[in-house]
Every structure is written in C-alpha cells, then in structure tokens.
Amino acid sequence: MPRVYELKKTELEGTEPIQDLIDLTIHTAYVKFERINSLLLVSETEAGKTELIKKFRKNKGVYPRRRFTAYGIIKDLLEGQIKVLFNSPKILGHILVYDYSNVFSYKPNTVDSTIEFLDALTEEGLAPESSYWIKGNELESYEGLKGGVIAGINTFSFFTSGGRVRANLYKGGWFSRNMVCTYDISETLLTKIFDSIGRGEYRADRGFVDYIVLQLPMKRIDVGLPEKYAIEIRDLARELAEDYTRDLRPYKLKGIRLNKSLISLAKASALRECRGYVNADDVDRIKYLSQWMNLKMNHLKLNYPFPVKGGRGVRFVEVFTPREIKG
C-alpha cells in the first residue's frame, strides 16, 4: 500500500528541503530505466549542507569520501572498499563528497582525469578507452558502471575562486550532469535557529536523528509517468535551464539532462511512497524544491510543507519488494 513519506527530524532546523533533495537523489539509483542523479549543493559556511550529507552515510550504496580522485575511487573499487550495488546493469550508488572544492585542488592532469571519470560515471558508464582506466584487465568487471555524486561546496569556492572551480565544472559538460542547487538562510530563519540553540534544542537528546537511514528496495523498480505529468516536468526543466543560462552566460544549458534528472526525482518520490506511478503530489514536491535549483541563493523557508517525523535515529532498514508496489 502507498504510504505518506515523512522526513526525519534533525537539529538542522529549516534545511528540510535540502534533506529531501539528498534523500530523493539517493533514491534515483533505485529507479529502473532512469538516470542516477548527481547533486551539488552550494551555500555559505554554517548552512548545514555538510552535516546533512554526513547523516546519509549509513545507507546501502552510499560511500562518503573527504578526498576524491579518479585513481582513489578506482583503487577503492579494486580493494572492495566500494562495492557495486547492482550488477545488471552495473550500478554503483552514490559517492558523498563533503567538500567538493577538494576535487579541483590537485594537479591539472589529475583534475582532468577525475572530471573525465565523473562524466563517464554519471552518464554513459566507465569505459576502457579513458585516462582513468589505469589497471587494464583488472577493471573489466567495472566497464559500464554508473553512479552519482552528492557533494557540498561553499559559495566562496563556487562563485569567487578566480573562476578555477567553475571552469572545471564546465569541462565535458560536467555542470549539466548535476542538479546544482543553491540556498541561503534568511534572517528570520537564522533568528529562529539561534533561539532553538539557546533553548538547547540542538542537543542529541532532544529527539533528533543521528543518521538518516532510508527504506530502500532490494532491486531497481520501474515507475510509471503519466503523460500530463511528463509535460509539466518538461516545461519546468525548460524554465530552470533558462534560469541557469542567464546566470552562466556565455555557458548555455538546453535542459535535456535537467529534464531527465527531474523525471528521476519525481519517480524517486513515487518509489519512496511505495507507488508504481508518479502522481500530482510528486510533481508538486519537485516544483517546490525547484525554488533552489538555480544559482540565485534563494532563502530557505520557515516551514517545509511536507511531513517531518521526530524520534531517535533508525538502526535498521525496512525494505520492500517490487510486489509491494502497486499502480
């Protein structure tokens, strides 16, 4: 039976939309026939993005990394520290990167190799004719492997680092392969946060979760998308692509990958509620979250209009099978 999904309550008050974006992005690895989304979160320091990303590190198919290079990830694959989530097709899941600017802090040839690796991982799959394919036959079992990245970066590194980070984000169309979301905390919300700190509500004994452990299926599941909702999502993708383009000129987005990513998010929303089809609630959720799918640093709101559940951290994962998802 379908269920009403509830976000877990954290001490990071006001950041529920960002929590939901991370949550849905992880779920896209479990949606059959759709792209696995990557998410890049941009905010000022102390805006909660790193702590939120960390809370998801206990999930199946999620691999936290402070430092990231193509060589390092391949080494971890070969040593079994990172395991393939699904074999047919080959799906990795998601790599969590707490500080994305570190990816671009290496020598230029290392950065180029890493971007080439990320381009392949998030789109067509790993291929032997690439600079990161350094172990020959040892990597044959990983050919075609796909996955996603969820990363945070502060506004200084993204917007004002002499163009170095942004220039690397444009290489190979890497920017368009991410859902790039920016946000800020309004003065009203900031005051509310300070007040909650003064009352001691940030402490771990106040009913907040330590980890956000998701109820993930055992296999990838096909989710239907009615035509009327596909049209709404397409129109939204075009609007968002225009917004990104205005802020990125002369870099231009057509919105094709963005359209695919939004479809993945909508289907992930349905999957999360044990439904085999997208409905109006899923589309409304994605439309609401799209307020931060731009480079405008829009403020987070005082209240998130979707359920948030309290209680201490979940210590196990309740899984459901495809049979339990009915259209």
Query: What are 97-114's pLDDT values in tens digits?
Result: 998 888 888 888 998 899
Instruction: With beta carbons less than 8 A apart as the criterion, state whether 105 and 164 touch.
Output: no
Taking the C-alpha atoms of residue 3 and residue 324, their distance in angstroms, rounded to an integer, is: 11
Structure tokens that stand for 248 in this block: 């990125």
Q: Three-state DSSP class for 313?
A: coil
List the one residue out of 174, 152, 175, 157 whose CA is nearest residue 47.
Answer: 152
| 172/258: higher pLDDT | 258
Mean pLDDT across the stretch 250-268?
93
List the one residue out of 23, 307, 312 whose CA is nearest residue 150.
Answer: 23
Mean pLDDT across the stretch 176-205?
84
In single-letter form, the type of residue at position 263 comes to I
Share of the chain above pLDDT 70, in %: 87
For residue 169, how many other CB atoms are within 10 A of its CB?
Answer: 24
Split at pLDDT 50, 70, 90, the class of 165 is low
Split at pLDDT 50, 70, 90, the class of 324 is very low
Q: Is the pLDDT of residue 311 over 50?
A: no
Share of the chain above pLDDT 90, in %: 59
Q: What is the DSSP string of 119-179?
A: HHHTTT---TTSTT--SGGGGGGGTT-EEEEEEEEEHHHHHSSTTHHHHHHHGGGTGGGSE
Chain CA centroid to CA 44, Å: 18
* C-alpha to C-alpha distances, 217 to 30, 39, 55, 324, 325, nearest whole angstrom: 7, 21, 19, 10, 10
Q: Is the pLDDT of residue 158 over 90?
A: no
Q: Is the pLDDT of residue 280 over 80?
A: yes
Structure tokens that stand for 275 in this block: 């439904």
Q: Is the pLDDT of residue 231 over 80?
A: yes
Structure tokens that stand for 84 in this block: 């393939």
The pLDDT score that the predictor gives to residue 325 is 39
Q: Is the pLDDT of residue 320 over 70?
A: no
The pLDDT score that the predictor gives to residue 139 is 87
Instruction: With beta carbons less than 8 A apart as the criterion, state whether 179 and 21 touch.
Output: yes
Taking the C-alpha atoms of residue 140 and residue 136, their distance in angstroms, rounded to an integer, is: 7
Q: Is the pLDDT of residue 172 over 50?
A: yes
Q: Is the pLDDT of residue 221 over 70?
A: yes
Split at pLDDT 50, 70, 90, the class of 161 is low
List the one residue out of 239, 227, 222 whose CA is nearest residue 287.
Answer: 239
Residue with tokens 């999360």: 272
List of domains in the chain: 7-188+211-218+291-324 (3.40.50)
Instruction: With beta carbons less than 8 A apart as the criterion, state whether 299 and 183 touch.
Output: yes
Split at pLDDT 50, 70, 90, the class of 327 is very low
